[in-house]
Amino acid sequence: MYVKGIRSLFRFPGYVVSSISMSADLVQVNLRRDGRYRARCPACGAAMGVNRTKFQTARDLPLGTALHVILIYPAIQGHCSACGAWATIHPPGIDDHARATRRLMEFVSRLARHLPLSSVLEVVGVDDATAYRWDKAVLERKLPPPNLDDLRILLIDEKAVRKHHGYVTLVMNGITGELLYMAEGKKKESLQGFFQKLTKEQKASVVAVAMDRAGAYYEVVKEQLPDADIVFDKFHLIANYHAVIDEVRREEWRKASKEYKDVIKGQRYNLFRNASNRTSEQTHSLMNLLHMNRNLAVCYILKDAFKKLWDYKYPKATAKYLQKWILYTRVSGVEALRDFGRKLTKVKDEILNFCRHPITTGPLEGFNNTISRIIHRACGVRNLDYLFLKLRQESLEPDLPK
Ligand SMILES: [Zn+2]
């Protein structure tokens, strides 16, 4: 490309560069009106009389070693005789509210995706409060509204965003991975807001929904999408089973004699780990424990058997396997296991639906890291709208490095 000097970097239709002054860390670009252009009313487009001009400044992208690039331009204040509007005209591409060019704001927004907001200061000399405002403004302008058409699969889950019970409810399109909705809390109302946004046709397009067995979402989905299949998330169910093992482990520890307590101690994660993730030492101490404690051994064997449930492809075979597994819990002699088995009996359909719709809320788990990274980078959740925009950005452009 043939570049006609540095002036070509500052092309704003209706304006020409009258002078540029540069030092190692500051570039000042003076713009003036291009006499060939008439001022046009931003509201109706009619030619507009100029009442007065006022000089304003706007920041632009860094240039060479200069972090600060300042544009000085005449803003035109006028009155439109055609539509009666009073207006101030700025060079196109300048956000007069932010006192910056859009291209600088977009650059800051790109940086804010990969850097803590406080580091943006070092790279472009924009402080973190400004970087936050600009990033939010750019995302609001650039991200499309959630696409609520042709939603065949929905994934719903809650996420902790603050220590001590700060939750949000998230809804994702299970086919495209687009994050569609976020609301504060994990109650029924938190999810109801999503369905209020959907038309009848949009609701009818949903064939299956994956969610956690526990929680308030089930009732809402049953009511709003009576024809959709609900699939209880396998990872949540396995986590529920881990909680049962933990309960049994604690109980056995309480009952145990002192030297026996030492055998149980420190085995919590050994009981959850897959065999392939254990060191031989961990396997050895786990086997020692399972030899000595019948109840934990039963829990452990049934754990691997439980996970196999999701390997079955056909509902009939799965149902048979599940029934057998529940029967084992019934005869296990471990009350916590029997209790878990009873609970599963009640949600058999939602477990078997996995055969028809092999979906999980797993894609939403990916947001756990994103959420903590965004909160860390933004130095706390400044604003849930901002968090939603950032998560939507990640869900819409997942190919960019994180
Ligand atoms: Zn007008």
- Ligand 1 centre distance from Cα of residue 78 (Å): 10
Q: Nearest to residue 142, comparing CAs of 100, 177, 173, 107?
A: 107
Give the integer Cα–Cα distance in Å for 366 and 64.
38
**Phi and psi, residue 232, nearest 5°:** -75, 130
Cα 43 to ligand 1 centre (Å): 5
Determine the distance separating the centroid of ligand 1 and the alpha carbon of 269, expressed in angstroms: 70
Are the CB atoms for 34 and 27 separated by under 8 Å? no
Paired tokens of 249: 């482990």
- Concatenating the DSSP letter of every residue in 258-294 gives HHHHHHHTT-HHHHHS-GGGS-HHHHHHHHHHHHH-H
Distance CA 314, CA 316 (A): 6
pLDDT by residue for the chain (402 residues), tens digit each? 455 688 889 999 889 999 999 998 999 999 999 888 888 888 888 888 888 889 999 999 999 889 999 999 999 888 888 888 888 889 999 999 999 999 999 999 999 888 888 888 888 989 989 999 999 999 999 999 999 999 999 999 998 887 665 888 999 999 999 999 999 899 999 999 999 999 999 999 999 999 998 889 999 999 999 999 999 999 999 999 999 999 999 998 888 888 777 778 778 888 888 878 888 888 888 888 887 888 888 999 999 999 999 999 999 999 999 999 999 999 999 999 999 999 999 999 999 999 999 999 998 887 887 777 777 665 555 678 888 998 999 898 765 544
Give 38 Cα–ligand 1 centroid separation in angstroms: 13
Partners of residue 54 on adjacent β-strands: 75
- How many whole angstroms separate alpha carbon 340 and alpha carbon 349? 16
Q: What pLDDT score does 308 carry? A: 94
Query: For residue 86, how far is its CA from the centre of ligand 1 (angstroms)?
Result: 8
Residue owning tokens 């007065």:
52
- The structure tokens listed for 59 are 């920041």
| DSSP single-letter state for residue 99 | T
Alpha helices by DSSP H, listed for 265-383, are: 268-272, 280-292, 294-307, 315-331, 335-346, 348-356, 362-377
User: What's the 13 CA to ligand 1 centre distance in angstroms?
Assistant: 19
Identify which of 34, 106, 27 has the alpha carbon closest to the alpha carbon of residue 71. 27
Measured between alpha carbons, how far is 301 from 299 in angstroms, rounded to an integer?
6
Ligand 1 center to 89 CA (angstroms): 12
What is the 77 CA–ligand 1 centroid distance (Å)? 13
The pLDDT value given to residue 165: 59
- As a whole number of Å, the CA-based R_g of the chain is 30
φ, ψ for residue 34, nearest 5 deg: -85, 115
Note whether 345 and 84 are within 8 A (CB).
no
Task: Identify which of 97, 115, 89 has the alpha carbon closest to the alpha carbon of residue 59.
Answer: 97
Which residues make up the environment of ion ligand 1, defined by Cβ < 5 Å? 41, 43-44, 46, 80, 82-83, 85
Q: Please count the other Cβ atoms lying within 10 Å of the Cβ belonging to residue 140.
A: 11
According to DSSP, the β-strands at 26-33 and 49-60 are: unpaired
Cα–ligand 1 centroid distance for 98 (angstroms): 24
Cα(84) to centroid(ligand 1), Å: 6
How far, in Å, is the centroid of ligand 1 from the Cα of 41?
5
List the one residue out of 400, 392, 398 whose CA is nearest residue 146. 392
How many Cβ atoms sit within 10 Å of the Cβ of residue 123? 14
Beta strands (DSSP E) in 23-164 are 26-33, 49-60, 68-79, 86-89, 94-95, 100-101, 153-162
CA of 369 to the centre of ligand 1 (A): 50
Length of the chain: 402
**Distance from Cα 52 to the centre of ligand 1, integer Å:** 17
Whole-number pLDDT of residue 377: 63
Distance (Å) from CA 34 to ligand 1 centroid:
21
Helix axes 188-196, 217-224, angle to 10 degrees: 30
How many angstroms separate the alpha carbon of residue 79 from the centre of ligand 1? 8
Output DSSP code: residue 86.
E
Q: How far is the CA of 193 from the centre of ligand 1 (A)?
A: 40
- C-alpha 139 – ligand 1 centre gap (Å): 30
Could you tell me the distance, in angstroms and rounded to a whole number, from the CA of residue 36 to the centre of ligand 1?
A: 20
Task: Calculate how far, in angstroms, residue 87's C-alpha sits from the geometric centre of ligand 1.
Answer: 9
pLDDT of residue 48: 85
CA 15 / ligand 1 centre spacing (Å): 21
- Cβ within 8 Å of residue 264, ≥6 positions away: 249, 252, 253, 256, 289, 293, 296
Q: Rounded to an integer, what distance in angstroms lies between the CA atom of residue 73 and that of residue 63?
A: 18
Rounded to the nearest whole angstrom, what is the distance from the C-alpha of residue 63 to the centroid of ligand 1?
Answer: 37
CA distance 293 to 252: 8
